Amino acid sequence: MAIDFDKAAERLRNWGRWGEDDQRGTINHVGPEALKRAAAEVVSGKLISLGLEFSQDGPQIPEITKRPNPQLLASDLDQIFNPANPRSRFNDDVIVMPLQSATQWDALSHVHYDGEMYNGCKASECLTARGTKKNGVHHLGSPGIMSRGVLLDIARLHGVDELPADHKISPDELNRACEKFGVTVEAGDIVVVRTGHLRTFTVRKDKTKVAGFQAGLGAECAEWLYDKSAAAVAADNIAVEFLGMESLTQEVVLPFHMLAIRDMGMPLGELFDLEALSQDCAADGRYSFLLSAPPLKVTGAFGSPINPIVLK
């Protein structure tokens, strides 16, 4: 790979930085100042959702991704509370869903390499059929993920709706996007990267490409995020990172995932729908905002479905 993976990994490794027992990683960068800065971004009072719907018509193709789309089933329908007074009725439901099925945070337990997860816990000691004993997503949910968000609209930087599938985003492009869109990434910010890829699902209605090779961040971008002390990174693609043949065949498969999640302890936000946000930012020229995306506190989970919302 372009970068020397193991050397980069050593430099970026945040293990012990926030204590031996830390399970929140770079979310620790979000302190009171970052949160106040986030609130200070609110000018127009406009609210935008970045979340996909969770439904049988979601972006998964089980034969390809091994993940079924969410299945919602009623458990009570038009149910009478009290037969003696049948006017009042209620409805309840149950969902069966992969936590990675649509818009989501990857928890710090989602990936690992060389047998160790973030902060040095042994995969063999943590992983169970009922979830992980360490780095479960509930730690990211306490108190939750909120901060200033910054949109780096790489598709717009290049004047296209969607980056081509073989486009690997470089740190230099991130810098150029900051410059063009007039933003500076500060400690504790959540970096939101737009590739346009999700339009294959939301606009072009072609699910076959959602999980294929696609544009995204190159491994070097992990260093950029580290140097900026970013709290998290999210994108409108399936893995945040660039997916090409090399991603799956190099010595460390999915190197950006490994550096970000396992070494830095940085949650990745995937399948964020950034179309409305992109248009809004282009319209008002403001690419920073308050971003709220609290994961569900699912005990021991490897990720969480979310509905991220932006307040500008």
The smaller minimum CB distance to a second copy, of residues 108 and 191, is found at: 108
Residue 54 or 224 with smaller CB distance to a second copy: 54
Cα 215 from Cα 124, distance rounded (Å): 33
Rounded to whole angstroms, how far apart are CA atoms 288 and 281? Answer: 8
SS3 call for 23: coil
141 near a second copy (CB under 8 A): yes
Contact between 52 and a second copy per CB under 8 A: yes
Among 186, 231, 183, which residue's Cα sits nearest to residue 27?
231
Query: Is 77 among the residues that bind a second copy (CB under 8 A)?
Result: yes
Interaction of residue 307 with a second copy, rule CB under 8 A: yes
Cα separations (Å) of 285 from 96, 279, 281?
A: 41, 10, 5
Using CB under 8 A as the binding criterion, the count of chain residues that bind a second copy stands at 106
226: nearest Cα among 268, 193, 265: 265
Stretch that binds a second copy, among 156-164, 213-221, 225-233, 302-310 (CB under 8 A): 302-310
Q: Does 244 bind a second copy (CB under 8 A)?
A: no
**Euclidean distance between CA atoms 97 and 93, whole angstroms:** 13
Task: With H, G, I as helix, E, B as strand and everything else as coil, classify residue 118.
Answer: helix
46 or 204: CB nearest a second copy:
46
Per the structure block, which two tokens stand in for 16?
């012990």
Q: Which is nearer to a second copy, 112 or 167 (CB)?
A: 112
- Least distance in Å: CB of 201 to a second copy? 14
Extract the tokens encoding 159.
């004047």
Site track 160-199 with a second copy (rule: CB under 8 A), x = hit: ----------------------------------------
- Nearer of residues 43 and 160 to a second copy, judged by Cβ: 43
Antiparallel, parallel or unpaired: β 190-194 and 146-153? parallel
Site string for a second copy, 92-131 (x = CB under 8 A): xxxxxxxxx--------xxxxxx--------xx--xxxxx
